[in-house]
Each structure stands twice: as structure tokens, then as C-alpha cells.
Chains A and B, each alone.
Chain A
């Protein structure tokens, strides 16, 4: 398969996945259970994306307080909960990660 055919096929497949329900919605009766499930899509998928980022360092599970991403992530969660502010969450999360990483290099 040529490189270009590969890229175009992969692109079409990805696009079809993105378009799927947007195009078909309303043409079929959606089961009530599916309608109910949709509410949980953002919270479930986005958590499944970020959670491992806090616990895995270079592919290794690191469930300890010497994991700077876990500490900074927990702090960011607290900030997000209290302030509901994206910018504060990013700034405090990033600065605390840098500080914690720096402190850990001292030991």
C-alpha cells in the first residue's frame, strides 16, 4: 500500500468515526438507555484520558508521593474543584509540578 493511500484511508476511517452518529442521529429511534448513557461520555472519556497521565511515568505505574505528576495533579484537581477556572488550574498545576520536580532533584 502506498504511503498516500495509507494516509487517506486512515483519514477517511477517522472521519467516518467522527461523523457516524452526527449523521445518523434522528434517522433511527435511539434506545432510552443510550440517551441516558450519553450524559456520562465527557466525564468518563476525559477522565480515562488524564488519569493514567498522573500515575504512569515512562510507562511505569508510580503510585507514590515521589511521583510529581500525581501530587501536582491532585493539587490541580483541588484548584479546579474550588475555582472552576481553567487558567488557575493550569498555572497552579504547572508551577507546582516544576517546584515538586525541583525539590525531588535535591534528594
Chain B
């Protein structure tokens, strides 16, 4: 009897959860120094330790926390600080739209919970997993595993910066691992002309718009990339 090579692996919530944890682990090399630096910078800016840690818990978005702590140190009015964080984090609306179809059938409590874990790093590994053509049933457990791993690491590494004042020397350039992670995720997901065009357009636009305030260049460049991808796709 001939057996076809079909992926017969049975995915359970547990196996998906641990796959998510495993997929997230390489990203932590970049996240840990980033969290430590945030902690030190937040204290240097004059935030009380409890408030600095609360930012990691309540806002839970690295680059916006950096900017927010700096604005706090400059005595910028709170309302402007809130607005700034909101604008920097607008790209998460794109992540939300991109994840929404996959999470549609979940109970509301899962949606409310998973939305809290929707960071750059958890999104990056999870969307790639969702787009793979395999058993979709428990993939939200993968997202949960990746998100929880990142969340725990972020809380602990920012706490190390805040309470211990520990940091990793910048000469080690470990921040570069975050760029490498995104390279490792994006490059293999470029599978046709349209997605290549979307990536190139977004990358070039991000460089040109780099100095736009409040990271709006990042958001605009993403929209440029998405538009170019759609145009190329429509042509071919």
C-alpha cells in the first residue's frame, strides 16, 4: 500500500503552545538587552520604578515606552505623551487587521486576551505560522505561547534594568539581532513578485521617511509597501 507524504502530525493545544514558545525564543536575544536598556533609561528620565515597570505591564510596547519615558523626563504634558504613544503604536492596527480573520471564530475572552499580546515580535512569528498551509485549529495556542514568552521576557528584562540597573554593553550590538530576526522572518515569506515588490517599496520608503516624527514614517512606508504589492499583484 502506498502512503502519501501528507503532514499527518496531529496538533494539540499543548503542541501548538510549545511550538509558539520555541519560535519566540530566538527573538529574545534581541528583546532582553532592549528591555534592560529601557529600564535604565526610564529611571534616568526620573520615572519612579513602579511606574517604569507599570509601563511594561500596561502599555507593553517597547519603542513607545522609550519615547514616553523620555518625554516624561522632559516634563512634556501627559496628554501629549499619551497622544505620542498612540501614534507610535498605530502600526498595531495593521497587525490587528491581519490577524483578525484567523481569530474570528474564537470566543470573545480569547480575542480580548490575545489582543493584549499582539506585539511586533509575537505577531511576526504567529502570522507566518497562520499563513502556513497546515492544521489551523489550535494555532491561537501558538500565538498564546509566543506572546506569553515575549511578555514574560519583557517584564523580567525591564525589571532587571529598573531594579538592578543591569545592562548589556552596547558595543556587543545585540540590538542588531532584532533586525536579523525580522530578516529571518521576512525573506523566506517573499514568495512572488508582488510580495518582493511590497517589501522593497516598504523598505526604501521607510529609509526615505525615516525622520518623520513619531515613527509615522514606519506606518506610511508600510502603507506604500502594501499598495505597491497590490498593484503588482493586480497586473500579473
Residues of A within 8 A of B1 (CB): none
Q: Check A43–B189 contact: CB distance below 8 A.
A: yes
Q: Smallest CB–CB gap between B81 and chain A, Å?
A: 5
For A37-75 the 0/1 string (1 means CB < 8 A from B) is 111111111111111111110000100000001001100
Number of interface residues of B (CB under 8 A): 90
Q: Check A43–B78 contact: CB distance below 8 A.
A: no
For A1-42 the 0/1 string (1 means CB < 8 A from B) is 111111111110111011111111110000001101111111
Query: Which B residues from 197 to 218 make CB contacts under 8 A with A?
Result: 198-207, 210, 218
How far, in whole Å, are A7 and B227 apart by their CA atoms in the complex?
34
| Segment at the A interface, from B2-10, B11-19, B95-103, B152-160 | B95-103
Asked whether B74 is an interface residue with its Cβ less than 8 Å from the other chain, the reply is no
Q: Check A77–B120 contact: CB distance below 8 A.
A: no
Contact pick for A10, options B86, B98, B111, B118, CB 8 Å: B86
Q: Check B82–A6 contact: CB distance below 8 A.
A: yes
How far, in whole Å, are A39 and B15 apart by their CA atoms in the complex?
26
Q: Check B89–A22 contact: CB distance below 8 A.
A: no
Q: Smallest CB–CB gap between A45 and chain B, Å?
A: 4
Q: Check B55–A17 contact: CB distance below 8 A.
A: no
Query: Which B residues from 98 to 145 make CB contacts under 8 A with A?
Result: 98-101, 103-104, 111-112, 114-116, 118, 120, 123-124, 127-128, 131
- Which secondary structure characterizes the binding site on chain A? helix
How far, in whole Å, are A20 and B91 apart by their CA atoms in the complex?
12
- Which secondary structure characterizes the binding site on chain B? helix
Q: Check B176–A69 contact: CB distance below 8 A.
A: yes
Scoring A1, A14, A38, A52 by chain B CB atoms within 10 A of each residue's CB, the highest score goes to A14
How far, in whole Å, are A52 and B92 apart by their CA atoms in the complex?
19
| Segment at the A interface, from B31-39, B161-169, B179-187 | B179-187
Q: Smallest CB–CB gap between B117 and chain A, Å?
A: 9
For B64-102 the 0/1 string (1 means CB < 8 A from A) is 100010001000011101100110011111111111110
Q: Check B128–A42 contact: CB distance below 8 A.
A: yes
How far, in whole Å, are A15 and B93 apart by their CA atoms in the complex?
10
Residues of A within 8 A of B226 (CB): 37, 40-41, 44
16 other A-B residue contacts (CB within 8 Å) besides A19-B112, A50-B178: A11-B55, A13-B85, A18-B115, A19-B96, A19-B115, A22-B118, A37-B227, A37-B229, A43-B198, A44-B202, A47-B200, A47-B202, A61-B207, A76-B183, A90-B180, A101-B173
**Residues of chain A having any CB pair with chain B under 8 Å:** 1-11, 13-15, 17-26, 33-34, 36-56, 61, 69, 72-73, 76-77, 80-81, 84-87, 89-90, 93-94, 97-98, 101
